[in-house]
Amino acid sequence: MDNSSRERRVHLRVYRNFILTYHQKEGDTPKYSVSQVNNVSKGGLSFSSTYSLKPATVLVIDLKTPFVADSIHLEGVVLESKEKIADLIYEVRVQFQKIPDQALSILEKIETYAKAEETKQI
């Protein structure tokens, strides 16, 4: 069997349309952008962007969820930025780096809630 087709994810992927703001960590003046999450897990997330981001770019991310009033502050590294609509929309995959305990707790709540919803639908 070809190992490349085997699922490599460690964490449950949750499909939710949370809002996030992000900017590149490096640079003199952060340029904030707003986007929508495609999916999120305790390991990272995927979101849409109006511009391509280079792999290995470090992002500062503020994720808004219904579980807390404030945003969850995260940092992650871009794994891939794939063009979805020519010169217009890019799908960006990010792997989290050093998740703060408070953020990890919220990500775990997101996962638990998604599992509970999935169980109800069966």
Label residue 1 by pLDDT band (50, 70, 90): very low
Identify whether 24 is part of a domain: yes
For residues 39-68, give the mean pLDDT: 93
Cβ-based burial of 60 (10 A; exposed 0-12, middle 13-18, buried ≥19): middle
Identify whether 91 is part of a domain: yes
Number of domains in the chain: 1
Identify whether 28 is part of a domain: yes
Beta-bridge partners for 49: 90
pLDDT, tens only, 3-33: 444 556 677 788 888 999 999 998 766 678 9
Global pTM reads 0.83
Identify whether 3 is part of a domain: no
Rounded alpha-carbon distances, angstroms, from residue 85 to 18, 88, 108: 21, 5, 32
Identify whether 18 is part of a domain: yes
Identify whether 116 is part of a domain: yes
Helix (H, G, I), strand (E, B), or coil: what is residue 58? strand
What's the domain range around 50?
12-121
For residue 98, what is the domain's CATH number?
Answer: 2.40.10.220
31-35, 39-43, 95-99: segment of lowest average pLDDT:
31-35
